[in-house]
Structure 1
Amino acid sequence: MADSQLLTDVRALVGREYGRVYAWDDVNAPMIRQWCEIMGIDNPLYTDPAFAANSDQDGLVAPPSMLQVWCMEGFHANHYPPGSTTENPYEVLQLIESYGYPSVVAVNSELTFNRNLRPGEKLYYTTRLDSVGDEKTTGLGTGFFVTLVMQYFVEHKSGDEAVGELLFRVFKFRPAHPQTAPQAPADANAAPVAKRPKPGMSDDTRFFWEGCDAGTLLIQRCTQCQTLRHPPAPVCIECHSFDWDSVQASGRGQLYSFVIMHYPEVAPFDHPNPIGLIELQEGVRMVAGLTGVAREDLRIGQPVQLEFQTFDGELTLPLFRPVAE
């Protein structure tokens, strides 16, 4: 049970708005070009002035998903341009931590775009503590889901214009199984070997990971309307029934979309690290690692086949390998 004083202090912060954080630079073509190069995007609307001038955009625009990038602090943490607020929009996390919830994990983020940005525009964002949920117990531990909303604006002499919004949610928690201090390696000079992080497991997802351990890909199915769903969830998205079982997937599908993780480089993953959104033959989609393929050989729609791989002798994950047409 959460401390009553903690709940009082946290709820007093909900709804608080924090001041402006400015972008270091105006929206500009060199940064757009570098971002597109790193992300593997070759849309001429972002990088070819002649093409963009003859498009319905009447000139270069920035990729919408760069919205968050313009106002980042840079290489050094909390290094913001002059005039930016010195308030800490994450003070609620420090407050929760002071009551014995030391860990944090990002849960999800959602970007909303009002319009495309153009070179020469100057941005800033403000932050609002949108909500702090009731204390919840998950496979990771017990804690609170904290939601912050950043609203992005372009400065105008006639009045600033809202151009987008970022919803950012984290889970601030007390671990279910606190880690003990690691044992010293036999060779004091040997660096510890990084292991693959284990997925969070709950009553809703346990069947899926146990299926992976057994070499089967299981998809949740509503027993009332037969709708398949993934990721697993406690209730059917169609008929709202709580009754479900699972079916074994064929393991065949196609590459619906993909990203290439370049940075940060986190051990023990290989980099660049390709990650795919797989559309299974059964109709559901799932995110999984891609194996046995180079970046330049990936293409949307190519057929893929399930392949289980075991890491660190204990963690079995479903990966997908491209196959011939």
Structure 2
Amino acid sequence: MGGSDGSPGARGAGEFFQRLKAYEGRPTGTVGVGKDPVNLPMIRHWCEAMGDANPAYDGPDAVAPPTMLQAWTMSGLSRHTDRSSAYDELSGLLDDAGYTSVVATDCEQEYLRPLRPGDEITFDAVIESVSERKTTKLGTGHFVTTRMDIRANEEPAGTHRFRILKYAPARRPPKGERPRPVINRDNAGFWAGVADHRLLIQRCGGCGTLRFPWLPGCNGCGSAQWDAVESCGVGTVFSYVVMHHPPFPAFDPPYAVALIELAEGVRIVSNVVGVPCDEVRIGMPVRLEFLRVDGELELPVFAPVQGVAGGVG
């Protein structure tokens, strides 16, 4: 008999797991070729998106940020033509057993040499491991890890491991409280400001650079000294997504999650409220508000500025 989530029953679980394990070591792609060589325009776009102004990533002796390792292997909408069917077969096997949902859990990267403009990228990918059945808060399923070995001009350049959970969703309880933010010594000052209806931004005590989110040290000069300045609360929508699925008990989709560029020059992830989701636009002027979501928790959110070009008339 099968489990209540459609997964194999106890007697069939061992056999099913062995079928999954048979995919370990099977390639998902061999001698893949990066669509473009390492190049300065892509490095520049990456650094602008990440807000990383490290001088090592610019100029005639530039190297690529190490965390771009996987970016040079991505295929875009056209996909790579050297893919094998192994990963799709494994995914279909899990789907048929009731593990129809998927979530990316983590990735690991190992860097063997810097990547420089002009490097030609090739790579191999393999299904490295499939876990035994695990039960998580999301549901019950199997973790699948793929490993990509990346070469630059035929020299080993790094390894990228990517892990997902294919799972059968757990039954959700009725709508409850919003999840609580994790407050620690690095961000306690920010949440103390929220409690006072103030949006505080860290300022480096060494170079004066403003930073958000709050961090224990400065990415620019490395100083651990800092103070905080209060944002004026005015900004624009830099980017956004509208969340429809998966539903979470404490939320009512659809809702807009936006990257807000504050007037001070830093960006914060928050919700856009007070306007239908389909009316949110990049460049929309917004202002800070504080939204009480239950008896104990308030959050900083942003609403359109009425009567301003790009806002709601």
Structure-2-length-normalised TM-score: 0.57
Show the 5 A alignment for 1:251-266.
255-256=214-215, 265-266=241-242
| Alignment partner, residue 62 of structure 2 | 60
Q: Per the alignment, in what secondary structure is the counterpart of residue 10 of structure 1?
A: helix
C-alpha distance in 2, partners of 1:4/1:85? 29
Q: 1:48 aligns with which of 59, 66, 79?
A: 59
3-state secondary structure, aligned to 2:90: helix
Q: Alpha carbons of 1:250 and 1:112: their partners in 2 closer, same or farther (altered >3 Å)? A: same
Aligned residues: 220
| Structure 1 residue 263, shift from structure 2 partner | 6.2
Say whether 1:28 aligns with 2:39. yes
1:117-171 CA distances to partner (integer Å, 9 max, x unpaired)? 011111122112121111111211111111111111123xxxx211111111111
Match for 2:265 among 288, 293, 296?
A: 296
- Identity across matched positions, percent: 32
Q: TM-score, structure 1 length as denominator? A: 0.55
> Pick from 243, 258, 262: which aligns with 1:271?
258
Listed as ranges, the matches of 1:214-229 within 5 Å are: none
Q: 1:125 to 1:250 in 2, by over 3 A?
A: closer
Give the conservation status (yes or no) of the 8 Å contact 2:33–2:121: yes
Residues 146 and 46 from structure 1, CA distance in 2 versus in 1: closer, same or farther, beyond 3 angstroms? same
Matched, 1:175 2:169: yes
Q: CA separation in 1, counterparts of 2:31 and 2:292? A: 47
SS in 2 for 1:3: helix
Letter in 2 for 1:100: G
Instruction: Report 1:190-209 matches (<5 A).
Output: 209=179
Q: Is the 8 A contact 1:151 1:164 kept in 2?
A: yes
Mapped partners of 1:111, 1:298: distance in 2: 26
1:100 matched to 2:103? no
The root-mean-square deviation of aligned C-alpha atoms, in Å, is 4.2
Taking the aligned partners of 2:70 and 2:182, their CA distance within structure 1 comes to: 36
Provide closer, same or farther for how the CA distance between residues 114 and 90 of structure 1 changes in structure 2, counting only shifts above 3 A.
farther
How far 1:316 moved relative to its partner?
5.3
Alignment match, 2:156: 162
Q: Sort the Cα spacing of 1:13 and 1:297 in 2 relative to 1 into closer, same or farther, 3 A.
A: closer
CA displacement 1:216-256 (0-9 Å, x = unmatched): 9777xxxxxxxx9x9xxxxxxxxxxxxxxxxx999559611
Instruction: Please give the per-residue CA displacement for 1:191-219, whole angstroms capped at 9, x wherever unaligned.
Output: xxxx9xx98xxxxxxxxx5xx4xxx9777
Is the alpha carbon distance of 1:97 and 1:315 closer, same or farther for their aligned partners in structure 2, counting shifts above 3 Å?
farther
